[in-house]
Amino acid sequence: MNSAHLLKVDILEIAQKCVYCGYCSVCPTFKELNWESNHPRGILEQVKMYFNEKYTKDVSKSLFDAIFSCTMCKACENICIVDLPLLQVWEQIRQEAFRRGRWSSDLLSIYDKVKATHNIFGLPHNDRLDWAELCGINLSRRIKRKAPVAFFIGCQASYSGKMAGIAESMVKILRKARVNFTVLGDEEWCCGAPIFLGGGYTVGTSLAKHNYEELKKLGVKKIVSTCAGCYRSFKIVYPKILGDDWDIEVVHASELIDELVDKKKIKLLNTIDEKITYKDPCELVRHCGLSEAPRSIIKKFPNVRYEELPSNREEALCCGGGGLLKINNPKLVSEVNTKLVSEIEYTEADIVVSCCPLCVDTIQQGVKEKKLGIKVLDLVELVKMSMEVKK
Ligand code: SF4
Ligand code: SF4
């Protein structure tokens, strides 16, 4: 069998360029599984076998198993000695798996939920702003009103009760800084991040088009996101899908807040007594190259005590929660996460901060399993803590 004609980029050609140097042994899931079939170079070997005469049912199974054991952390691509666009290969193999009916039923269920309800939880559309009521926030003046800035809340902060503090904190920050912002309310659809990571670009494209049209109706010029996954979708994927039509500036909450602090629109008043460390989300640092704005904010807290994780910025360890691995293999997530939690423990920090609800959730689980008593917060929650006048 030869399916190479189905591919958008010639991934067989990419696979053939691998020089087998092994630099990509940094792969967090390979480090846990230790099978050559899960090593990025091993996956490329299987790609070669899959798309040529060595194709067998076993090769196909092993390739798809490996591709769904990947967190899409991009550590392999960033270190690759011959600059192979590995993430493109992984995405296309996921698409191939979809075409061949090889997605797991759990994965398909996420896909169906997003298709039907436009959120990853399959919850009713109208409940998208229930978090605001939960947090005692009245957003009625902001919903679908014309404004230059849109706060895109994201599925996690909207529907997962334990992440509602992220949305609450960001709204309070924007209000305090008197930013003229809007929210899309029930017209906010999933940004598509989990769908894109699964390789499902058809549904992802309809989500992107919808969100774009709703933003344009409100005259939005700038979109701000607290979630690394949403940010990556808007920054990297939407321009690819929508081309020149995508003319909205994309900023991460950390970039906007850093600017607001510098312009004295908000003040970081309170000393955070606890020692802080910061975990770079893969989707921010390796996918989008954003690492300094969160650090810049943390260092502006009065009398802050801060220490970097041993692996930071481009070398940051993956939490294990990305690439839909939580659905495909939760045990492996926990194993990958253990290494990161050990690094956090090493810093003796009291608070670990990140900029991604998935990282926050995954690290919270790891910290709980190890009974470490370390607080895990999103950066915007920490900013809110430092900003509010103590009573
Ligand atoms: S993206 Fe991350 S998990 Fe996936 S193969 Fe590359 S290094 Fe491994
Ligand atoms: S770093 Fe690149 S060239 Fe080296 S083994 Fe990995 S994929 Fe192949």
Q: From the CA of 4, how far away is ligand 2's center (Å)?
A: 21
Residues in the chain: 391
State what percent of residues in the chain have pLDDT above 70: 97
What is each CA distance from 306 to 169, 176, 273, 290, in whole angstroms? 22, 26, 11, 19
pLDDT at residue 142 is higher than 60: yes
The tens digit of pLDDT for each residue in 57-115 reads 999 999 999 999 999 999 999 999 999 999 999 999 999 999 899 999 999 999 899 99
Atom 5 in ligand 1: which residue has the minimum CA distance?
A: 40
What is the rounded CA–CA span in Å between residue 361 and residue 142? Answer: 28
pLDDT mean over 165-178: 97
What is the band of 172 on the pLDDT scale with cuts at 50, 70, 90? Answer: very high
The tens digit of pLDDT for each residue in 306-322 reads 999 999 999 999 999 99
* Ligand 1 proximity of 78 Cβ (cutoff 6 Å): no
What is each CA distance from 94 to 68, 107, 249, 280, in whole angstroms? 8, 11, 30, 25
Q: Say what the pLDDT of residue 54 is.
A: 75
The tens digit of pLDDT for each residue in 379-388 reads 999 999 999 8
The tens digit of pLDDT for each residue in 233-259 reads 999 999 999 999 999 999 999 999 999
Report the C-alpha dihedral over residues 158, 255, 305, 378, rounded to 10 degrees: 10
What is the rounded CA–CA span in Å between residue 219 and residue 251? Answer: 16
The tens digit of pLDDT for each residue in 321-347 reads 999 999 999 999 999 999 999 999 999
Closest of 131, 99, 113 to residue 194, by C-alpha: 113
Q: From the CA of 34, how far away is ligand 2's center (Å)?
A: 16
What number of other Cβ atoms are within 10 A of residue 180's Cβ? 11
* Ligand 2 proximity of 177 Cβ (cutoff 6 Å): no
Q: From the CA of 17, how far away is ligand 2's center (Å)?
A: 9
The domains located in the chain, with CATH, are: 4-102 (1.10.1060.10), 106-259 (3.40.50), 266-387 (3.40.50.1860)
User: 136-141, long-range: CB within 8 Å, 24+ apart, which pairs?
Assistant: 137/168, 137/171, 137/172, 139/171, 139/183, 139/185
Contact 238, 212 (CB under 8 A): yes
Q: From the CA of 27, how far away is ligand 1's center (Å)?
A: 5
* Ligand 1 proximity of 352 Cβ (cutoff 6 Å): no
pLDDT at residue 5 is higher than 70: no
Q: Say what the pLDDT of residue 390 is.
A: 67
